[in-house]
Amino acid sequence: MRSKDLIDLSDDPNLIPGIYNYCDRWCERCAFSGRCLLYATEKAEDDDPASRHINNAAFWHKLASIFAQTQEMISAWADENGVDLTPSALAEGEEHNDRQQAQSRNHPLAKIAEEYAFAVNEWFENEFEPMEVFSDTTAGSNDDDEHDEAVNDYLEVIRWYQFLIAVKLIRAISSRLEEDEYGDEEWHHSDGSAKVALIAIDRSLSAWKLIGELRSENGVSIRKLLLDLEKLRLHTEREFPTARDFIRPGFDETSLDILQ
């Protein structure tokens, strides 16, 4: 995609500015994907099937094109915002970011979220037995099919948010460190990331509960995961008490313009 095409996309009044900053990246299930610049950019790039295959020249041409666009955009943003991109400034900033990232990942909240993610892996390895697949299409009833489909849907939710919760919480903690350092009181990005994590926790709690109802044989192990998630939810709400009040562009706005 050319830089002009990207600029034209960004000027589209139908797009919701910044909506991609506070989403769960599940574009296939998002009601706002058609109003997202990031999704529109990726969709435009994917119009050429060859550009998605690593063995095609078009794939590498696509990467080179995006790299050039990115450099141009970053340079413009840096000049506009007074960002120093000299090697010495970048080295200093990298050290600062490394310290901040380490501090974020070592936060108790991040540790709990990562422990949950790995506990889910263990559950699938040790507790979960895939549903039986019938070789004869007449062997299973419609009720069986609906049951298995429901379980698979809930498992998909679990898997999607399994690691995203920790990623968003680490980002929230890191953003709060920046806000504390630079005194950014106008726009709390930390609350936005924490809210996405909380929504992911809420949906995961619901999915686990429904799986437990459909697979009673896994009831004990699922209750353990539910307790872990509930503790994580309570801990997150204590750390970010105003996160649920954060208004995410598009998702939490109720104006008629957004809903159209």
How high is the pLDDT of residue 134?
35
Determine the pLDDT at residue 138: 46
Q: Domain-by-domain residue ranges, the chain? A: 3-89, 99-259
Average confidence (pLDDT) over 174-188 = 76
pTM above 0.85, yes or no: no
Q: What is the mean pLDDT of residues 74-84?
A: 73
Mean pLDDT score of the chain, rounded to an integer?
A: 79
pLDDT tens profile 21-30: 889 989 888 9
Cα separations in angstroms, 222 against 211, 213, 218: 8, 10, 6
The share of the chain scoring above pLDDT 90, in percent, equals: 37
Tokens of 140: 């299973």
Mean per-residue pLDDT, 153-182: 91
Cα atoms in the 13 Å half-sphere on the side-chain side of 226: 15
pLDDT in tens, 88-119: 766 655 665 667 678 888 999 999 999 999 99
Position with higher pLDDT, 140 vs 256: 140
Residue 128 banded pLDDT, cuts 50, 70, 90: confident
Q: Please tell me whether residue 130 adopts helix, strand or coil conformation.
A: coil
CA 66 to mean position of chain CA atoms: 22
pLDDT value at residue 95: 65
Q: Which helix (H) or strand (E) holds 153?
A: helix 142-161
* Band (208; pLDDT cuts 50, 70, 90): very high
Q: How confident is the model at residue 258 (pLDDT cuts 50, 70, 90)?
A: very low
